[in-house]
Amino acid sequence: MNNYKLTIQYDGGRYKGWQRLGEGESSIQGKIENVLSEMAGKEIEIIGSSRTDAGVHAFAQIANFKFSGNMTESEIKNYLNKYLPNDISVTEVGLVPERFHARYNAKDKTYIYKIWNESHTNPFMRKYSMHVEEKLNIVNMKKACQYFIGEHDFTTFSNAKSKKKSMVREIYSFDIEEIAGFIQIRVRGNGFLYNMVRKIVGTLIEVGLGKINAESIPSILDSKERNQAGFPAEPGGLYLEKIEF
């Protein structure tokens, strides 16, 4: 039985997220599994590295699956791209060791969030960024993002329902830059809770608008009260950029 690693790009706009939820639910995982199962002539299950939320995109999602057929990696890649919808693309297929697990072996993940920060809309990026008309204070946002770096309990910045799972995550780096009308936020960490990145970005936007003080971020984190965080930023501006193993 061979173990295959997939590198996947997708526009998440019309999907319920990465994770297969049930019959009739439109998910990235479900679409890929359906095509692989047709290819294999039996049910194939794939394991994804990151369970991106509804509407979130990916430049390089990683998944793995096991298959005993005699197709080459190139043939599997070509088959997938022939039958997948054109908003999902498999950019690489490779053989990996039998014990490779896309979720458990992931060491860190990087997400990017794009904000269009001009008074006018951007027709070409309206589905792939969040429009904030009022000019944001980048200096204050950069100051605020530094407080998130390190290991913290991120209960405040998650909508995760399980109380049994640890809410502790470590953020390794957090950067903000302005590029031709866009504010691009890049965050890298060992893992992220449900809605965590979007709620952090929403909080940073409120800092940029002067509604939250940058210096209050530590106390907001420590409160573990979800109503203390800012609103969750729109999903269309969020991209899974890369995963390291």
State residue 162's pLDDT score: 66
Instruction: Look up residue 140 and give its two tokens.
Output: 């204050």
Domain definitions of the chain by residue range: 2-96, 108-244
Mean pLDDT, rounded, for 27-51: 96
CATH number for the region 108-244 comes to 3.30.70.660
Cα–Cα distance measured from residue 72 to residue 68, given in angstroms and rounded to the nearest whole number: 11
Mean pLDDT, rounded, for 133-160: 95
Q: Assess whether the region 2-96 and the region 108-244 belong to the same CATH fold.
A: yes
Instruction: Look up residue 240 and give its two tokens.
Output: 């899974």
Q: How far is CA 243 from CA 102, 107, 108, in A?
A: 9, 8, 6
Is the pLDDT assigned to residue 186 strictly greater than 90?
yes
Task: Report the range of poorest mean pLDDT among 5-9, 50-54, 170-174.
Answer: 50-54
Is residue 53 among the annotated active site residues?
A: yes
State residue 165's pLDDT score: 83
Instruction: Look up residue 16 and give its two tokens.
Output: 């319920």
Mean pLDDT, rounded, for 174-189: 97
Supply angle C-alpha 179, 185, 186, rounded to 5. 115
Is the pLDDT assigned to residue 25 strictly greater than 90?
no
Percent of the chain with pLDDT over 70: 98
HSE-CB of 81 using CA atoms within 13 angstroms: 15
Mean pLDDT, rounded, for 183-210: 97
Instruction: Look up residue 51 and give its two tokens.
Output: 């369970």
Active-site residue identified among 11, 53, 153, 175:
53
State residue 69's pLDDT score: 87
Instruction: Look up residue 129 and give its two tokens.
Output: 């960024």
Neighbour count for residue 157 (Cβ, 10 Å): 30
Is the pLDDT assigned to residue 88 strictly greater than 70?
yes
Is the pLDDT assigned to residue 71 strictly greater than 90?
yes
Is the pLDDT assigned to residue 23 strictly greater than 70?
no
Q: Find tokens 């100051």 and name the residue.
A: 143
Cα–Cα distance measured from residue 230 to residue 217, given in angstroms and rounded to the nearest whole number: 11
Cα–Cα distance measured from residue 167 to residue 47, given in angstroms and rounded to the nearest whole number: 22
Cα–Cα distance measured from residue 9 to residue 91, given in angstroms and rounded to the nearest whole number: 7
Mean pLDDT, rounded, for 102-118: 97
Neighbour count for residue 25 (Cβ, 10 Å): 13
pLDDT band at residue 22, thresholds of 50, 70 and 90? confident
Residue 66: exposed, middle, or buried by beta-carbon count in 10 A (0-12, 13-18, 19+)?
A: middle
Write the single-letter amino acid at 43.
Answer: E
State residue 176's pLDDT score: 97
CATH number for the region 2-96 comes to 3.30.70.580
Taking the CA atoms of 131, 132, 138 and 141 in sequence, report the sign of the dihedral they define. Answer: negative
Instruction: Look up residue 172 and give its two tokens.
Output: 């390794």
**Helix 138-145 vs helix 196-208: angle between axes, to the nearest 10 degrees?**
140
Cβ atoms of 116 and 130 closer than 8 Å: yes
Task: Report the range of poorest mean pLDDT among 18-32, 101-115, 129-143, 187-201.
Answer: 18-32
Is the pLDDT assigned to residue 163 strictly greater than 80?
no
* Average pLDDT, rounded, for the chain: 95
Task: Report the range of poorest mean pLDDT among 23-32, 103-112, 174-183, 186-195.
Answer: 23-32
Cα–Cα distance measured from residue 77 to residue 7, given in angstroms and rounded to the nearest whole number: 10
